[in-house]
Amino acid sequence: MINNFQLNLDSIKNISLEEKRIREKKLMLFNDVGFPSKKFEEWKFTDLNKIITDNFKELTVATNIKNNENINLINDFEHNFLIIKNGILEKINLKYEDEEKVKVDNYEYDLIDNDKSSNPLINLNNALFQSGYSLKVHQNYKLNRPLVIYNLFSGNLDNKIINNKNSIKLENNSQVELVELNFDNSSYKFIQNSYTNISIGKESSLINYSIQGNKSNGFFYKFVKSILSEKSNYEDYIFSSGLKFNKIEEEIDINGDEAKCNIQSAIFLELDEHNEIKTLVNHFKPNCNSYQKIKNVLSDKCKGAYQGKIFVRDIAQKTDAYQLSKALLLKDTSEFNTKPELEIYADDVKCSHGSTSGSVNEDSIYYLMTRGLNRKSAIALLTKAFLFEVINSISNIDIKKFIEKNLDRQIYGH
């Protein structure tokens, strides 16, 4: 089935024999399975195999994609930034920070042979990744301004696959706010398969916002593995609306007492867009808190999915874990699937989940129309209201305004 796909190591030059051996092994593991079909429980709502074979006749590893395009930096708030073009780190600007305390580099290959993942896309990533960034914040340092990561895609990416690996490491008592901003100017069909490792030290805080800046024909898969230490805080806000295909998987190990994890998402899908968020929150230590709220508005023929699992180990007493999924379907042709899962081995915990999906309340539309709004504006207002709840919980006012502006553009088209 993957015969026309030239997924090989030919384009990966200048590597040691050892690295080559590991990469070949990973590639073999991927090839045993190929792109996962819906027979895999993890992919039951997203038949990636079918999606890829339907959309790609051929597929090659992206190399040397010419790209001289400049990116327009946002001027909504002061920020440090990284510019990443087609997956390659091109520019680092940390002008608001003590450069001794924050380090950004190209991702260095580490011998990841001990990664026993059965996830085919992680294996593929480990076999073929070529670029990415690593960010390290030193102990006791809190960044003065947010760090915006501009992810730009442009040039001839037709039928290419880009594999990235990133790493974010916060040492103890440090803090950073990351804004991942994606722009696709290529208009081609391509795949990005990325893997990010996050490690948050004791009493440190990472707040991450993922924002899609425009529509894209790209196919995006992102796996994020986070490890939380004692009293650390991880917040992840996902606003990835506008992608033809997007799946985000988050695996979070809460490895220290009194750590907090908060994942929220507000997604607006239309046309034939496809979006899935899958999470696994592992409560390994007591007195920790996890909170997830996923909101989707779906129009036209799009598909949305959320799979959220909370795992609580026997010693993780006093865990407080919550997950909620709400979907608003604007058309009969749109589809939303959800699968909540709780696996709990401790007896003194508070865990709950909820899930609702339904259409817009006709009475509300009627009420708004009697006040002069047409049906389309009434639905847009209700859509915004539905999703704004997530944005409203962002405490950084500048970022909140920026994200609201982005959401308005998605809903109202301006």
CA gap 125, 27 in Å, rounded: 9
Q: How far apart are the first and last CA of the chain?
A: 42
Minimum distance from residue 243 beta carbon to other proteins (Å): 24
Q: Judged by CB, which is closer to other proteins: 364, or 396?
A: 364
Extract the tokens encoding 221.
């898969």
Minimum distance from residue 68 beta carbon to other proteins (Å): 42
Side by side, the strands of the sheet bearing 147-153 are: 88-93, 80-85, 147-153, 175-184, 205-212, 233-239, 260-269, 289-298, 320-329, 350-359
Q: Judged by CB, which is closer to other proteins: 124, or 328?
A: 328
| Residue 109 Cα to chain centre, angstroms | 22
CA gap 383, 388 in Å, rounded: 8
Minimum distance from residue 322 beta carbon to other proteins (Å): 19
CA gap 168, 180 in Å, rounded: 13
Name the residue type at position 171: E
Q: Judged by CB, which is closer to other proteins: 57, or 376?
A: 376
CA gap 301, 358 in Å, rounded: 15
Minimum distance from residue 362 beta carbon to other proteins (Å): 8
Q: 136: which strand partners?
A: 103, 169
Minimum distance from residue 390 beta carbon to other proteins (Å): 10
Minimum distance from residue 382 beta carbon to other proteins (Å): 7
Minimum distance from residue 331 beta carbon to other proteins (Å): 18
Q: Judged by CB, which is closer to other proteins: 197, or 325?
A: 325
Q: Judged by CB, which is closer to other proteins: 95, or 375?
A: 375
Extract the tokens encoding 267.
């997604």
Binding region for other proteins (CB under 8 A):
361, 363-364, 366-375, 377, 381-382, 384-386, 388-389
CA gap 138, 124 in Å, rounded: 31
What lies within 8 Å, CB to CB, of 74 at 6+ separation is 148, 181, 402
Minimum distance from residue 369 beta carbon to other proteins (Å): 4
Q: Judged by CB, which is closer to other proteins: 297, or 349?
A: 297
What separation in angstroms does the CA of 15 have from each of 128, 167, 273?
A: 12, 20, 38
Q: Judged by CB, which is closer to other proteins: 372, or 413?
A: 372
Q: Judged by CB, which is closer to other proteins: 315, or 385?
A: 385
Q: Which of 15, 21, 194, 199 is nearest to 122 (CA)?
A: 194
